[in-house]
Structure 1
């Protein structure tokens, strides 16, 4: 399934999603003792993850002795004995996935407020608050709201970049992730370059890399090429690059461009105004001349 992602502030990791039910009951809660987030409404069976004492959650359904809650990018069940009502506000919930087309992100948590952006099925946002039955999300540097019925969550807790790297430590896992990443990136060949763009309507160079990594693998990259170049393990030689590595270019010591290495001396990128997402070579020409280093994410 092709997943589309909007740039957000929080980190995310995506897997199979499940639609939230009874979201109109949404409110913030606090976990009063360390407990498990369970896949089903019982103490036995699959455990999705742990919720520490004092953690804030979103209560989605409280109609039984097992509350359905969202926490850290996952949805599951917690005994009602452990959940206490809390004031709406900041609740770090991780990634939410839009479950319908033409879903509005609004400036305030009501239908009378201005529409900032319209999303479609499988667009992904990260959720950082609960207010009056709406999820608060962050898009670039702007906060907005989506009505809770229109977001789903997965059954796997959000991980950090370091945890993701550890989980993909073996060569086989890294290779599989690289294949998935590059197959997804290929879907956007021909997409026009747009300065500041980070959606399939148009990408700049780092908007493209950010979108592809986040949406294909759930890895959140820093937004600019300069920030990306300082974040990951540096690969100084073109000959040492592996598929899925970031490749950085610039003049002198300043990085001003980034792409994704494909293999055999080629990389995919969104080059500049008037161009479009395409493959180019590292083996000769300006990109060979201006190559600075690679960055190993996987």
Structure 2
């Protein structure tokens, strides 16, 4: 019973750390892994700078909120916010609860009740869906889906990611070592541009995990830490001007089939289409806003960003509708605003990607809300 309770507690903490909810009352020890981390007064990149911390600096994480850490500095008095990409938490209790995540690479992937094709199919997931991996068995992963359903999928169709800061190998070839020195045994050779996940830092060496789940040490000079924001927060990627071309981009998908649960690129449902467009063409903008993962459902997408009025719509805003038989207060559909009073969306009635006017009586009466990411 004690082990079961411990497992449940770890699962709950991991879920909180991977989401945009608050985890407070913490006292995790962490290490700065970016060449230079900026401590800010608020958890936004253009907030006032309080301090700059060099790589290897030890800090204490007091709160996890969205993709930011509220940290206590070495003097024990000062506090501020740093991006979670600039530090890695090395507390053992956190590491135990940093469960693996995975991205579906197949067009359609069957979720089964057990780790074998002999087991019945209980659900299907689609390209680009993110799952949490809680167990492995003979080439299969037990995963938790967005709806909290558990099941098994084959590992061949899952690309592993981790709840850790990431970096890229910046040299043509380098060897991952078992220990933080050049005389220890080799683990695996890494190629230029290969992504690694940074678990720790010591004396100019990073402790990393590879996408193939190999763990070891590599000199920090061979890894470029992947930061979505640096000192220049006014770059074009974070400006609303990036959506000026959204109509021409999305029009390329007009006529593509509507398929429930599909996430592109050849078929979509409504939230699959909005997710695909934003992640494929505007990922830099999302990263600049601290949005690392979009909810898969229309109702989930309606919970992020800032609510805007219908009269204040701008290109790239998400528009949410109630398309259920009896109009009430349920968000069941999402479209992307492309300007001139129009949205583009995966229509359930027309069974394809279409453009429609919000002034149309049908859509006008079903407008629920709009958000700006």
Of residues 71, 91, 94, the one that matches 1:53 is 91
Cα distance in 2 for residues equivalent to 1:115 and 1:255: 29
Between the two proteins, the alignment pairs up a number of residues equal to 223
Instruction: Find the aligned partners of 1:102 and 1:284 in 2 and give their Cα distance.
Output: 35
1:267 aligns with 2:343: yes
* Inter-partner Cα distance in structure 1 for 2:345 and 2:366: 15
* Helix, strand or coil at the partner of 2:92: coil
Determine if the alignment matches structure 1 residue 209 to structure 2 residue 274.
Answer: yes
Q: What does residue range 152-167 of structure 1 map to in structure 2 within 5 Å?
A: 152-153=159-160, 155=166
Is 1:131 the equivalent of 2:136? yes
Post-superposition shift, 1:179? 6.3
1:248 aligns with 2:320: yes
Task: Find the counterpart in structure 2 of residue 60 from structure 1.
Answer: none
Does the 8 A contact of 2:101 with 2:133 survive in 1?
yes
SS of 1:221's equivalent?
Answer: coil
Structure 2 unaligned segments of length 5 or more: list them. Answer: 1-14, 20-27, 35-54, 57-84, 168-196, 198-226, 284-291
Correspondence 1:175 to 2:240: yes
Equivalent of 1:193, from 253, 258, 262?
A: 258
What secondary structure, in the 3-state scheme, does the structure 1 residue paired with 2:293 have?
coil
Equivalent residues of 1:249, 1:256 under 8 A apart: yes
Unaligned stretches of 5+ residues in structure 1: 1-8, 13-31, 58-85, 158-162
Change in Cα spacing, 1:171 to 1:191, as seen in structure 2 (3 Å) is: same
Separation in structure 2 between the aligned mates of residue 102 and residue 207 of structure 1, nearest angstrom: 13
In 1, the alpha carbon distance for the partners of 2:232 and 2:275 equals 19
TM-score between the two structures when normalised by the length of structure 1: 0.53
Query: Within 2, Cα distance between the matches of 1:102 and 1:224?
Result: 20
What is the TM-score of this pair, normalised by structure 2?
A: 0.44
Contact kept, 8 Å, 1:236 with 1:292, in 2: the verdict is no
Q: Distance in 2 between matches of 1:228 and 1:214?
A: 13
Tell me, in whole angstroms, the C-alpha distance in 2 between the residues paired with 1:129 and 1:146: 12
Q: Deviations over 1:184-203 (max 9, x none)?
A: 65454223334x53434754
Q: Which residue of 2 aligns with 1:219?
A: 293
Instruction: Please name the residue that 2:49 is paired with.
Output: none
Displacement of 1:37 after TM fit? 7.2
User: Which of 139, 143, 158 lines up with 1:151 in the alignment?
Assistant: 158
Alpha-carbon distance in 2 for matches of 1:55, 1:182: 47
Deviations 1:44-80 (A, max 9, x none): 9xx97513312566xxxxxxxxxxxxxxxxxxxxxxx
* d(CA) in 1 for partners of 2:321, 2:232: 27
Instruction: Tell me the residue number matched to 1:280.
Output: 356
- The higher-RCO structure (CA 8 Å, 6+ apart) is 1
CA RMSD in angstroms, aligned pairs only: 4.8
Asked which structure has the greater CA Rg, the reply is 2
Tell whether the 8 Å contact from 2:128 to 2:263 is kept in structure 1 after alignment: no
